Chains A and B, each alone.
Chain A
Amino acid sequence: MVAANKTSILVLDDETIVLKRLRPALEKAGYEVEVFSRSSEASERITQKDFEIVITDLKMPGLDGMQFLTMVKERSPTTEVIVITGFATMETAKESFQKGAFDFLAKPFKLGEIQEIVKKAEAKVLKNRMQ
């Protein structure tokens, strides 16, 4: 059974190796995690549930991460979105923040670095929840 007060995180990356790495680490840190390797499935899921944090890759077949970020923020403006990418450019970083991303993280990264960002995003989510 999932505890009701756990922060919910959706992770979207077409590279399953990234999902395999992130899921256990985030679950171990106490988050409720759902992972998707297809953006179409993740898009479907966010119509059913508002996640508190979304972690999304940018370059993916089909709907890309930028479009997914837009979709998430339109549906749920309080969801904090962390963009991860293996092909970082200044333009994509700027665009991500313009679209409301909480943070932008280039690959490769260690688990500690993304966990730190998730913690900050969670603090913001909790602060907003209390207001």
Chain B
Amino acid sequence: MKILVAVDRSSYSAYAVEEAARLARNTLANVTLLGVLSPKEARKNHHDPASVAWGPSHPLAKALGQYRESFLSYFEEKDSPYLNREFDYELIEVAKGVWQELGVCRSARKSLKVRTRLGNPVKQILAEAEEDESDLIIVGCSEQKQCFWEGDANVPERLANGAACSVLVVKEERNVRKIVCCLDQDKTSQESLEMINQMVSIHHADLEVIGMSDGEGLKSEVERKMNSILKYYLDRQINPQIKVVPLSSLEEFISKEARQDLMALWMGKKSVLENVLPWTKVKRVIKASHSSVLILR
């Protein structure tokens, strides 16, 4: 699993790093901590408008260093999959037909990269996720309705909308006791089921799977799909609660549940949920939610 943790200097980013560390401790994921420097921020207090005031003393670079240390502190040194232990020399082709003996360290089982990109935060985070083939983007967001992301307050919502992979928007509340999962009855990706499995394992949380009805109860096709999802979990010794919610009251239901539980919403391109719950409403759910929201793809 590859996790991209998008951070800024706000305090909620520390919670996102914490959540990523918790997930990585169990999954041994390859992790990238990414900070994005907006061009405006990069040139602040710099006389030459074309140059970038970027370096180790920049506040974002310092914050990234702190996040890295905080992330690594979740792992005991002897067990850490991110620590390099053995150095060796290896011949590496540095240009076509040119080899150089370079000191390499290959013993870390998994990678922890700390990166900074320059540009629009949403575009840069999505580009990093695509290039690195991330399975999950984790991003922090304040509990208040207004997020304070530098340069663009809507970064978490826009990431959740634009990413090709799943996005976990982490709120400051961390104790997840129940995961309420609105899975699409028509097309549920294997990746989304697997992501839910990992979340249930990590948080030792209960799982509630929501089916949507049109008021006449579950139609046979929907019922068949819900049964197959139920069987999938029962086969894996997870006993989910199954609940049916009328489409007409889905938004209200989600808003209510999002106050206390981790809300997982399947929002694929062909998702039924995306039709009945327009993106503007999902954005409201993310903003209004007191707990974390997982957008599944």
Per-residue contact bits, chain A 4-19, to B (CB 8 Å; 1 contact, 0 not): 0000000000010110
Specify the chain B residue showing the minimal Cβ separation from A123: B106
Tell me if A75 counts as interface (CB < 8 A to partner B).
no
Count how many chain A residues have C-beta atoms less than 8 Å from C-beta atoms of the other chain: 22
Shortest Cβ distance from residue B143 to the other chain A in the assembled complex, whole angstroms: 29
Shortest Cβ distance from residue A1 to the other chain B in the assembled complex, whole angstroms: 33
Specify the chain A residue showing the minimal Cβ separation from B189: A108
Partner of A86, one of B25, B109, B135, B236: B236
A contact residues around B30 at 8 Å (CB): 113
Shortest Cβ distance from residue B149 to the other chain A in the assembled complex, whole angstroms: 27
B contact residues around A93 at 8 Å (CB): 26, 28
A105 adjacent to B198 (CB under 8 Å)? no
CA–CA, A90 and B236, complex, Å: 18
Partner of A103, one of B109, B190, B198: B109
Shortest Cβ distance from residue A83 to the other chain B in the assembled complex, whole angstroms: 10
Specify the chain B residue showing the minimal Cβ separation from A87: B201
B26 adjacent to A107 (CB under 8 Å)? no
B contact residues around A17 at 8 Å (CB): 190
Partner of A88, one of B28, B79, B193: B28
Tell me if A62 counts as interface (CB < 8 A to partner B).
no
B190 adjacent to A108 (CB under 8 Å)? yes
Tell me if B1 counts as interface (CB < 8 A to partner A).
yes
**In the complex with contacts A89-B201, A90-B26, A93-B26, A108-B133 CB distance below 8 A:** no
Shortest Cβ distance from residue B85 to the other chain A in the assembled complex, whole angstroms: 14
Shortest Cβ distance from residue A64 to the other chain B in the assembled complex, whole angstroms: 11
CA–CA, A129 and B30, complex, Å: 29
**In the complex with contacts A59-B236, A86-B194, A103-B109, A110-B133 CB distance below 8 A:** yes
Partner of B201, one of A18, A88, A94, A113: A88
Specify the chain B residue showing the minimal Cβ separation from A61: B235
A contact residues around B135 at 8 Å (CB): 108-110
CA–CA, A17 and B192, complex, Å: 14
CA–CA, A108 and B1, complex, Å: 6
Count how many chain B residues have C-beta atoms less than 8 Å from C-beta atoms of the other chain: 23
CA–CA, A86 and B26, complex, Å: 11
Most buried by B among A18, A61, A113: A113
A 64-96 contacts with B by CB, 8 A = 86-90, 93-94
Tell me if A63 counts as interface (CB < 8 A to partner B).
no
Partner of A94, one of B2, B79, B236: B79
Per-residue contact bits, chain B 24-45, to A (CB 8 Å; 1 contact, 0 not): 0111111000000000000000
B contact residues around A103 at 8 Å (CB): 109
Shortest Cβ distance from residue B13 to the other chain A in the assembled complex, whole angstroms: 23
Tell me if A106 counts as interface (CB < 8 A to partner B).
yes
CA–CA, A112 and B1, complex, Å: 11
Specify the chain A residue showing the minimal Cβ separation from B191: A108
Tell me if A104 counts as interface (CB < 8 A to partner B).
yes
Shortest Cβ distance from residue A105 to the other chain B in the assembled complex, whole angstroms: 7
Specify the chain B residue showing the minimal Cβ separation from A93: B28
Taking Cβ atoms with an 8 Å cutoff, the residues of B that contact A are 1-2, 25-30, 79, 109, 133, 135, 190-191, 193-195, 197-198, 201, 235-237
Sorted nearest first, the 7 A-B pairs with minimum C-beta distance are A106-B27, A108-B191, A107-B194, A88-B27, A108-B194, A86-B197, A106-B1
